Amino acid sequence: MEFHEHDIIYKPKDLPEDVEKLKKYRFSFLTYDIDMYKGLPEEKEKDLAEALDKAFKVSREVKIYKTYGGYHIRAKLDREYTFDELMDLRFKADDYERRHIDMLYHRAGLDFLTNFLFNEKHWKDLGEMKSYREEEVSPKDLVVQREIELKIRAPKTYRVINGVEVFIEERKMRLRGKADVLTKDFVEQLNDVLNRELEPMIKEGEKYIDVLEKFYRGVFIKRVMTVLGYGDKLIIIADAEDVGKLIGRKGSLVREAEKIVGKKIVVTDVERMRYETALIINKIIESCRDVNIKY
């Protein structure tokens, strides 16, 4: 964390003895302050998911509160944590400015002021006094986002499955939904299902990569293309500018390649879906239906 010369907090000479008790209390909770208006909504929803994961991992008593600009999370710990342990858990999801000021308090020996959340705020806006008191909510009231890295390149796709929004583009699958459904366990299980669905197709396609590269003399590059075995077909997913090079004039090249590999070859690009790639995407999407784990 970066510090500046003016970022200095001085410790008062005389502090009440009770501040040590207050420090113990502060260090018996893991807390997060997530302001949804700071940064891109997509990134803040990912931060919220990360904070919930960490909170539920270390505590059985997690409370979530809606604030004026986002959410507070308080997780009661089964022991007193150290400052460094708490800061490690709060990194990256917790508000940066909050972590920054807490580090300054810690350096000044004022740990009893760290890890603090206001449950009510009052402020002046255009001469008018306003206030907001946090309100307890549950994971089902929160929307989070998570990502899965796919092992194949895939055309752009958007679906809604069981209330979960699924965005697929290139090698990324982005999921958006209620926090009580879209948990870390949900994503891990979905990833396992996807691997089981895709692995056989990937392995079948890999058998023909060297032959195809040799035939296409450098046009076919396994680093940036995906080859899948799907039934009696090979599906090649490539960049739009390479599709014509793979198919050839009036399909001459692809017909010759089919004779060599002994399979029908379907060439498509990542911007659009052919019938065969739509079937594969459906396999991926439908995998979401069978996974449902809650906090």
DSSP string, 24-83: HHHTTEEEEEEETTSS-HHHHHHHHHHHHHHHHHH-SEEEEEE-SSEEEEEEE-SSPPPH
166-175 pLDDT tens trace:
898 888 999 9
Q: What pLDDT shows up at residue 141?
A: 94
Q: What pLDDT shows up at residue 171?
A: 85
Q: What pLDDT shows up at residue 203?
A: 93
- pLDDT confidence band for 251 (50 / 70 / 90): very high
Q: Looking at residues 93-109, what average pLDDT do you find?
A: 93
3 state DSSP class of 204: helix
Highest mean pLDDT among 78-92, 124-138, 141-155: 78-92
Q: What pLDDT shows up at residue 5?
A: 47
Strands (E), 80-218: 120-125, 128-133, 135-137, 143-161, 164-178
3 state DSSP class of 144: strand
Domain with CATH 3.30.300.20 in the chain: 143-295
3 state DSSP class of 241: helix
- pLDDT confidence band for 12 (50 / 70 / 90): confident
pLDDT higher than 90, residue 198: no
Strand order in the sheet with 226-230: 226-230, 233-238, 264-269
Pick the CATH number of 143-295 from 3.40.50.970, 3.40.50.720, 3.10.110.10, 3.30.300.20: 3.30.300.20
Lowest-confidence region among 101-110, 135-144, 264-273: 264-273
